Amino acid sequence: MTKWTPTHEAPEPLEGPVVPTVVGGTVLWFVLFLVQLPFYGWFDDHGHAWWVWTCLAGAGLGLIGIWYVRGRDAALKRQAAARDGEGTRADHPTA
């Protein structure tokens, strides 16, 4: 007996404001780190110092994410411009 699964094509991925989303998340992680920093002694006394370092790690990884999504966004724009440029050149050949 085989499992029934519907066969249909996967939908296109949703594109949204990826760069601002990642920047916002990175800023949020860094703000959380700064807010917790004055209370580091309390966190350390109660065995929760990892909360502070988790926020700093989130901010650091967010910086890598910003670099990545900005490069991805630029590559998508270059590809779209090249695709549009090819259509324009095909419509108006220079001879």
Domain-located, residue 69:
yes
Is residue 94 situated within a structural domain?
no
Domain membership of residue 65 as a residue range: 18-83
pLDDT digits (tens, 9 = 90+) for 73-84: 999 999 999 988
**Tens digit of pLDDT for each residue in 34-85?**
999 999 999 999 999 999 999 999 999 999 999 999 999 999 999 999 988 8
d(CA 79, CA 12): 17
pTM for the whole thing?
0.72
Q: How far is 36 from 32, CA to CA, in rounded Å? A: 6
* pLDDT of 3 over the 90 cut: no
- Decide if 9 is inside a domain: no
Is residue 41, in this structure, part of any structural domain at all? yes
22 CB neighbour count, 10 Å cutoff:
19
